[in-house]
Structure 1
Amino acid sequence: MNERVLGHFFRYKRTNVDIAEYDVSKTERRRTSGLTRDEVAAMANVSTDWYTRIEQGRVGVIASPEVLRDICHALKLNTAEVNYVFHLMDQVPPTATEKEVNESIVSLIQAQIPAPAFMMDKNLTILQTNESYSRIYGDLLSENFLCRNVVWRTFNDKFIRTALNDWPSYARHQVALFRQTYSRDADSKFLYQVFVSVKNDPIFREAWDELAVADFHEQRLLVNTVEFGELYLIENTLQIPDTGQYVVFQNAGDDSTENKLRVIGAFH
């Protein structure tokens, strides 16, 4: 473990903070540059003894994720520093909550029009879509979080099941992604709810029992729609740094689809 490295890092950050940013005594009698251990402990809601043990890098002293988060907050660490702290202790860094949506990311997916695009959280739940996506797949944002989950939709959305030309292969890939996602947060009540909602589907059961695990990779989708005909879309997924969220782009895979997307996007 990296207890000593973590302790040294905390001590350095504590003694080098700008105390002008804190509501603490700023008298000339302060014998410590930066903050005292007592002050950090109080702001992190832990005892001074416990914080001291962490800072001294005592072997076997393992801070919980909540304590690490509160110490990081007390020291005003930036995102990269917080990630560093959590990685030192082999813990998963905190991410943006499922409802936090960065307006710049919303602008990014809107800028993809006429191509469909959407944003989803770490649980594979859709947070935002652009108008092109809504025209093809339906307006999802009025639905609850479960119904917006990509895995739930794969098995419960009639359009997805019937419109995708090779739905079984698509579904198997989603199951492999879901296994990877679930492994990162095995105690998630929401992911368990997703699992319960799809576990009785024969394709899901078969794919789940195969123990396949996957990360995101390029998907080639043939989508048959009543209004626009056949769309050949190439889907790519990018992770948004420091959030655990994703942006998914579906670009035209041929000239015919590109022309159809122009028509779809002309209505936004």
Structure 2
Amino acid sequence: MDKRELGLFLRSRRERLSPQDVGLAPGPRRRTPGLRREEVAVLAHISTEYYVRLEQGRAPRPSSEVLAAISAALLLTDAESEHAHLLAGTASVQSRLHCRDVRPSIVALLQRLPQTAGFVTSAIFDVLAWNDLAAALMEDFGSLDPADRNLARKAFLAPAGPRETMYGISDEAAFRHRVVTRLRVAGARYPSDPAVRDLIEELRTNSSDFARLWERHDVQSAPTLTKTFRHPLVGDVTVDCDSLTLSDRDQQLVLYSAPHGSRDAEALALLDVLGSAPLQSPSLS
């Protein structure tokens, strides 16, 4: 049980709610945002003292039933409730290390996809496998050291410059938020994995933007349906985004494609022919 993180998470969720959100009268003006602790305790049918100790990181581990009641009182989403259970140590399974091995069938599938850029990321955004079109659209991952294939580092720590900030994508701010939410879940799911712990600490120490987003304790982000890349050879390319969870390994299969016959599909087809070789030293206008 990570008492400190559980307390901070519960507090962050409590402070975002108003009495009206949970069917309570607003009452007199409040000095602090959100519900009062005693209101959460009443809604969850637990003692105020115990809930206060939970937020302060001083309480013993709650049962699954108590945590479910608190989740309901705080109107947590399924993702947020799962995160709370992970922090409390009441989730059904907690793996020691996150998985970095990609199934051979998935690697073979990537190579067979027609005019679709595809790649696989780990639970902490390491790019583990990719096809040629993904390399042409983004960068030649094979030429990078493994540590430099991490998209979280690229999003928050890469120096500003041509194509250094996430390949000129249109949704960089949303992607950064997605990175933080997934890393927070990974930190709770793999609390003893040094790779997970060290990456989070590196980002918190060296990126004020990451540190700011981390303090929000969000564990859910809006899905990305489309994304535009600003590419130095073919210009702007807008793609449909599909992210499929490989649940047995806690990995993501990310696919970028474009409608058949569209200008964007033609751009992807051209990149498929050109490959990633010209992008060794890319530049943007």
Output the TM-score relative to the length of structure 1: 0.59
Contact kept in structure 2, 1:117 and 1:132, CA below 8 Å: yes
Contact kept in structure 1, 2:97 and 2:190, CA below 8 Å: no
CA deviation after TM superposition for structure 1 residue 224, in Å: 0.8
Provide Cα deviations, 1:169-205, integer angstroms capped at 9, x if missing partner.
2212221122122221122211122223322323212
Match of 2:264 among 237, 257, 261: 257
Matches within 5 A, 1:78-97: 90-92=92-94, 97=99
Higher Cα Rg, which structure: 1
Q: Which residue of 1 aligns with 2:201?
A: 196
Is 2:162 aligned against 1:161? no
Q: Which residue of 1 aligns with 2:236?
A: 230
Provide Cα deviations, 1:204-252, integer angstroms capped at 9, x if missing partner.
1221122111268334212111111001122221122422222111122
Cα distance, 1:180–1:95 mapped onto 2, change above 3 Å:
closer
Contact kept in structure 1, 2:123 and 2:183, CA below 8 Å: no
Match of 1:212 among 218, 228, 231: 218
Q: Which residue of 2 aligns with 1:109?
A: 110
The answer for unaligned runs of 5 or more in structure 1 is 1-87
Matches within 5 A, 1:234-253: 234-252=240-258
Cα distance, 1:211–1:96 mapped onto 2, change above 3 Å:
closer
CA distance in 2, matches of 1:93, 1:177: 16
Contact kept in structure 1, 2:178 and 2:221, CA below 8 Å: no
Higher relative contact order, structure no. (Cα contacts within 8 Å, ≥ 6 residues apart): 2
Provide Cα deviations, 1:118-154, integer angstroms capped at 9, x if missing partner.
0122332111110011012111134333322221121
Secondary structure of 2:253's aligned partner: strand
Q: Which segment is superposed worse, 220-229 or 158-167?
A: 158-167
Cα distance, 1:122–1:205 mapped onto 2, change above 3 Å:
closer
CA deviation after TM superposition for structure 1 residue 261, in Å: 0.6
Secondary structure of 1:266's aligned partner: helix
CA distance in 2, matches of 1:188, 1:228: 41
Q: Which segment is superposed worse, 160-169 or 179-188?
A: 160-169
Is 2:113 aligned against 1:118? no
The answer for unaligned runs of 5 or more in structure 2 is 1-89, 276-285
Contact kept in structure 1, 2:96 and 2:192, CA below 8 Å: no
Cα distance, 1:166–1:241 mapped onto 2, change above 3 Å:
closer
How many residues align structurally? 180
Contact kept in structure 1, 2:120 and 2:128, CA below 8 Å: yes
2:92 partner amino acid = D
Secondary structure of 1:230's aligned partner: strand
1:256 partner amino acid = R
CA distance in 2, matches of 1:95, 1:215: 24
* Aligned-residue RMSD, C-alpha: 2.7
CA distance in 2, matches of 1:219, 1:182: 26
Matches within 5 A, 1:118-197: 118-157=119-158, 159=163, 161=165, 163-197=168-202
Cα distance, 1:194–1:94 mapped onto 2, change above 3 Å:
closer
Provide Cα deviations, 1:29-82, integer angstroms capped at 9, x if missing partner.
xxxxxxxxxxxxxxxxxxxxxxxxxxxxxxxxxxxxxxxxxxxxxxxxxxxxxx
Secondary structure of 1:224's aligned partner: strand
CA distance in 1, matches of 2:236, 2:212: 29
Output the TM-score relative to the length of structure 2: 0.56
